Amino acid sequence: MTETSEKVYTYDEVKAILEEIVRDFGADYSYKRPATMGTTGSNCYYVHENEDGICTPGCIIGHLLDRLNLINLRETVLSFKNAQQIEEFLRISNLEERFTRKARNLMYFVQMKQDMSGTPWSEALAYGIDQVSDLNESGWREQD
């Protein structure tokens, strides 16, 4: 039996891609719930259908997962609409082990801040970086 190992993304890798996303969208960009998703339910969608019925990444974490080619956009829209937090989404989509704990913590804090009243993505990323800056890749606080 052959064991296959999949890439595990570190904090630095996830942070670099999130910084790239912020640059691409602009520092002041903030996610807004797409009209196509109705008026009830979550304010944040990793992936949604646009007005033309095309599946597209939505929030900053959806863009991250898409850029890493870890999600199928159509399948995500159909299967995971109700996953609220990134931890739940990664767990039910079998992606949890593809990220170090520090990378997952960064994703959590960025998403949490993004979801607060339409915080611009640059502020959400800065908040996430600040929250996990003293963690090692295993998610533990660094000791002096």
Give the domain ranges of the chain. Answer: 16-33+43-132
pTM of the model: 0.84
**For residues 143 and 47, which has the higher predicted lDDT (pLDDT)?**
47
Report the alpha-carbon distance of residue 128 to residue 144 in Å, rounded.
22
- Tens of pLDDT, residues 116-128: 777 999 999 999 9
**Burial of 61 from C-beta contacts in 10 A (0-12 / 13-18 / 19+):** buried
CA neighbours closer than 13 Å in the CB half-sphere of residue 8:
12
Residue 141, CA distances (Å) to 40, 56, 116, 132 in order? 38, 36, 26, 9
Contacts of 76 (CB under 8 A, 6+ apart): 46, 47, 55, 62, 93
Alpha carbons 99 and 141: distance in angstroms, whole number: 17
The residue-averaged pLDDT of 104-131 equals 92
Across the chain, mean pLDDT equals 82
What's the rounded mean pLDDT across residues 47-72?
85
pLDDT of residue 4: 44
